[in-house]
Amino acid sequence: MNPTASVNDRIQLIAAGKSDESTCSPSLAKGPWEFDKGTPGYGPGASMGDVIPTGSPVQGGLPEEYKTATNDELHARIRAAKETLGDKVVILGHFYQRDEIVQHADYLGDSFQLAVAAKGRPEAEAIVFCGVHFMAETADILSNDNQKVILPNLAAGCSMADMADIDSVTQCWEQLEELYGTEPDEQGRVPVIPVTYMNSSAALKGFCGEHGGIVCTSSNAATVLEWAFERGQRVLFFPDQHLGRNTAKAMGIPVEQMPLWWGRKPLGGNTAEELTDAKVILWNGFCSVHKRFTVEQIEKARAEYPGVRVIVHPESPMAVVDASDEYGSTDYIRKAVEAATEPTTFAIGTEINMVQRLAAQHPEHTIFCLDPVVCPCSTMYRIHPGYLAWVLERLVAGEVVNQITVDESVAEPARVALERMLAAKPAN
Ligand code: SF4
């Protein structure tokens, strides 16, 4: 692996037969517009096996000129449009975005950091969010009324977020209410508190706001669970089972008291006794990218690099977190690498664009992704420079395309759940 080559360059070399690396799908070398229409799944890559729910936004056609332009031409057009727009636009780039996008971002961060950053730029009338759909929704919820949030490619969804939809969660909630009732115990704790990971639709954040619940990030999940257990006997955690399980286990909750809720089955496939005994009910969602990390990969890294420091994201399966040296959010991983004063070998279990960037930024360390296959988050990957050039040039022409708007009836309770999270003192 060339530590300075971008993930896209590596994928192009693999597709051209000029590399001995492998990718989870050679189709990633194509322009994402090849997958805008008529695909049953999210397209090639780590989340290709996950089905797009009906009703998800669909990207219309990208004008031909943006598909045929070279990368150099696109970068020049993006820079020119940005310069013309000046302070009226702010471009946000998620840690998992490809380098070809990140180089144009005013801010780089995780989804919540970026939504907060946008709020700090009130003069920006347009927020171009280079991330995925739920992130743009959160930015719209938290941004000022005069700010318009734009997602350059509407097909950039998140398969994990889509694993929990408002109808299924509402059905689950009705069954739990029927089983537990709604009366608090003698300590004033209600039977169950809903907690949603930031990686969820605005509708689910709103659901939590309306039902005494809260949002969490991968940085503050333990703080948020403590908040919830002060107010409830149990937690219903969605959509990511792994973040919920890893966090609750570290708090001392036995795995046996964390039943998995399968959306379509009565009582989520559990008995009434199992649910009564439960402390955390885990929604059966997962991240297709972080699910790829395995204990075998960690064992191989330890065998090949004695003394390697293994850090994984808590969206990884429990066995992987248990086998690692440390686990934490994207921001935790970034800070851990930056804080290492001695040359260190890091094996990292998170999205490859971020790992590759850390490797390029820190030549004093040896940094590699645990997964040897070049497999980015395929939906993040749909934000190609062609789409960024298109939305910016439309802004220059006075037209807002691909705006993400959360109805105020949803945004208001969602804000309540987000404010509870902030009051619960998130880490960082
Ligand atoms: S990395 Fe996983 S959780 Fe993040 S956007 Fe991609 S599919 Fe969703």
Q: Alpha helices, DSSP H only, in 108-240?
A: 111-119, 133-142, 166-180, 202-210, 221-231
CA of 373 to the centre of ligand 1 (A): 17
Give the pocket of ligand 1 (CB within 6 Å).
47, 96, 132, 158-160, 199, 287-289, 351, 377, 379-380
**Are 155 and 166 within one domain?**
no
Q: What local confidence, expressed as pLDDT, does residue 126 receive? A: 97
Cα gap 196→168, rounded to integer Å = 14
User: Is 119 contained in some domain?
Assistant: yes
- Does one domain contain both 51 and 183? no
Taking CB atoms within 8 Å and a gap of at least 24, the contacts of 254-263 are 254/279, 255/318, 258/282, 260/284, 261/172, 261/236, 263/164, 263/168, 263/171, 263/172
Each residue's pLDDT tens digit, 94-144 = 999 999 999 999 999 998 888 888 888 999 999 999 999 999 999 999 999
CA–CA distance, 267 with 111 (Å, rounded to integer): 32
Predicted local distance difference test score (pLDDT) of residue 1: 59
**pLDDT of 117:** 87
Confidence of residue 28 (pLDDT cuts 50, 70, 90): confident
Residue 247 lies in a domain: yes
Is the same domain home to 177 and 318?
no
Residue 1, in any domain of the structure? no
Q: What is the mean pLDDT of residues 156-182?
A: 94
172 is in an annotated binding site: no
258 is in an annotated binding site: no
Q: Is 83 flagged in the annotation as binding? A: no
Provide the pLDDT for residue 291.
95
Strand ranges inside 308-365, DSSP E: 309-312, 326-327, 345-349
Indicate which atom in ligand 1 lies nearest the CA of residue 379: 6
A 10 A CB-CB count for 391 gives: 26
Atom of ligand 1 nearest to the CA of 47: 7
Q: 4 in a domain, yes or no?
A: no
Q: Are residues 269 and 150 in the same domain?
A: no
The reply to whether 189 and 261 lie within a common domain is yes
Residue 317: which domain range? Answer: 290-369
On whether both 36 and 172 belong to a single domain, the answer is no
Whole-angstrom distance, CA of residue 218 vs CA of residue 428: 11
Residues 273 and 319 both lie in one domain: no
**What band does 61 get if pLDDT is binned at 50, 70 and 90?**
confident
Q: Of 383, 198, 168, which Cα lies nearest the Cα of 261?
A: 168
| Best CA proximity match to 243, nearest among 207, 286, 276, 278 | 286
Q: Which atom of ligand 1 is nearest to the CA of 132?
A: 5
Residue 378 has a pLDDT of: 87
**Do 35 and 153 have their domain in common?**
yes
Please check whether residues 271 and 417 belong to one and the same domain: yes
CATH of the domain at 390: 3.40.50.10800
Residue 426's pLDDT band (cuts 50, 70, 90): very low
In tens, the pLDDT along 351-405 reads: 999 999 999 999 999 999 999 999 999 889 999 999 999 999 999 999 999 999 9
Does any domain span residue 97? yes
- Indicate the pLDDT class of residue 32, thresholds 50, 70 and 90: confident
Residue 261 is inside which H or E element, if any? Answer: strand 260-261
Residue 182's contacts (CB-CB under 8 Å, 6 or more residues apart) are: 190, 191
Number of compact structural domains in the chain:
3
User: Does residue 209 sit in the same domain as residue 241?
Assistant: yes
Residues 235, 87 share a domain: no
Q: Report residue 427's pLDDT band, with 50, 70 and 90 as the boundaries.
A: very low
Q: Which of 49-58, 190-199, 211-220, 319-328 has the lowest mean pLDDT?
A: 49-58
Whether 283 maps to a domain, the answer reads: yes
Give a yes or no: residue 187 inside a domain: yes
pLDDT digits (tens, 9 = 90+) for 36-49: 765 555 555 555 55
C-alpha distances (whole Å) from 174 to each of 181, 208, 271, 280, 283 are: 10, 14, 16, 17, 15
Section 274-290 average pLDDT:
97
Determine the average pLDDT of the residues in 40-68: 70
Residue nearest to atom 5 of ligand 1 (CA): 158
Q: Please give the pLDDT value at position 377.
A: 93
Rounded to 10 degrees, what is the CA torsion of 57, 63, 67, 69? -140
266 within a domain of the structure (yes/no): yes
35 and 141: one domain? yes
377 annotated to bind ligand? yes
Query: Which CB contacts under 8 angstroms, 24+ apart, belong to 326-332?
Result: 327/246, 328/218, 328/219, 329/110, 329/217, 329/218, 329/219, 330/95, 330/96, 330/110, 330/218, 330/354, 331/109, 331/110, 331/113, 331/219, 331/428, 332/219
Upstream peptide bond of 239 is cis (omega within 30 degrees of 0)? yes
Q: Which atom of ligand 1 is nearest to the CA of 131?
A: 5
380, 381, 382: residue to mutate for ligand 1 pocket, most atoms within 8 A of CB: 380
Task: Report the range of poorest mean pLDDT among 107-121, 129-143, 167-181, 201-215.
Answer: 107-121
> Is the pLDDT assigned to residue 250 strictly greater than 90?
yes
107 in a labelled binding site: no
